[in-house]
Structure 1
Amino acid sequence: MRTYVVKILGLVCFFISYMAASQTCLPDFDADLTVDEFVDNADGTVTDESLGLVWMRCSLGQIWENETCTGDANELTWQQALQAAHGYEYAGQLGWRVPNIKELASLTERSCVRPAINELFFPNTYSDDYWTSTPSIVDPKRAWVIAFFNSSNSLKDKNLFVFTRLVKTAD
């Protein structure tokens, strides 16, 4: 009897963790309707033509291969993220930077959570905080982050380790 209960509890825990780890969207959300938002550049980047921005499809540290982001993303302090972006070359391009809060917020998909982003264009995005280049104007020790768990934003201590996605202005 005890073994049976342990097995049932194990299955319940598995399904709860699976459900918590997968993206959930409102019933009327249709990812295909948002395809026009970005142009796939076929090199691990997408262009948001309306904003004139080119985005890395993967988080910093992940690798774009076989049409998805693989590997583990890097967690960096705010200063490390800014330094990593400086001179960074990706897809044969320079000019990458940490996005400001408005730019990064433009990637959020408010119809979805865990992660709150269009996974068609940004697969395997962590449901966690991502740095922006926008510092706090009231506390020099903090900077703004966007939480791709639920599209929220908040101030975080610059010494915390947080994920990063880079952007550049389209040529």
Structure 2
Amino acid sequence: MIKNRFIKNVLCFFCVCFFSVANAEQFCLGTAPVSAPEENFLKLDNGQLLHLRTNLVWMRCAIGQTWNGETCTGEAEPYTWKQALELSVGYEFNASTNWRLPNIKELSSITERSCTRPSVDVDLFPATPPDDFWTSTPSMNDPERAWVVAFFNSSNSIKEKNRTVFVRLVRTALPFEREPD
């Protein structure tokens, strides 16, 4: 009887530990080099970031979320690839309509490869779903698929265009937004 209770307690302990880790917050390796350091970004007004290395302005929140001055609130909304492309045409945010869906290289440039779930700096891009985000890059081998960046582990893969995936838009910085040399 005591042995069975001990075994049950040990099993419960391992289940609690396992499920706690499985549902844990972001995990970053302290010994790994940082791939997208915070100093590479300049915080602009109203939920925008200028990536100094690429001269791109990023929305801090995914489409569906709202910047409240400190963080992203609400739920990110998934879209098909076609919907994401259509959404980006003429999308207005912070008095700009130059937003677009980023290509695979652009979106990959903001991933933090030393972190998982999500693989992005959560101080810069708070409440980022640890999931796939569309890019504008179609598959060269399969016209029914396009590239995504996975923000759970910063990997890239192709997905069927009719699947629904999250969206973050980007635009090229205007001359007055660039940091002086």
Q: Does the alignment reach a TM-score above 0.5?
A: yes
Instruction: Give the TM interval when normalised to the shorter protein.
Output: 0.7 to 0.9
Matching of residue 110 in structure 1 with residue 113 in structure 2: yes
Amino acid at match of 1:52: N
What residue ranges of structure 2 are gaps of 5+ in the alignment? 175-181
What residue ranges of structure 1 are gaps of 5+ in the alignment? none
Alignment of 1:44-59 (within 5 A): 44-59=47-62
- Residue 152 of structure 1 is matched in structure 2 by 155
**Cα–Cα, structure 1 residues 128 and 64, in superposed 2: closer, same or farther, change >3 Å?**
same
Matching of residue 41 in structure 1 with residue 44 in structure 2: yes
Structure 1 counterpart SS, 2:86: helix
- Residue 77 of structure 2 is matched in structure 1 by 74
The TM-score with structure 1 as length reference comes to 0.88
Q: How many residues align?
A: 167
Is this contact kept in 2: 1:25–1:113, CA < 8 A? Answer: yes
CA-CA distance at 1:35 after TM superposition: 2.2
Is this contact kept in 2: 1:20–1:114, CA < 8 A? Answer: no
- Residue 131 of structure 1 is matched in structure 2 by 134
Q: Deviations over 1:78-123 (max 9, x none)?
A: 0000011111011221100000000000011010000000111000
The TM-score with structure 2 as length reference comes to 0.83
- Which of 64, 71, 81 in structure 2 is aligned with 1:61? 64
Is this contact kept in 2: 1:54–1:167, CA < 8 A? Answer: yes
CA distance in 2: counterparts of 1:92 and 1:130, whole angstroms: 24
Amino acid at match of 2:52: E
Q: Identity over aligned residues, as a percent?
A: 50
CA distance in 1: counterparts of 2:29 and 2:62, whole angstroms: 25
Structure 2 counterpart SS, 1:160: coil
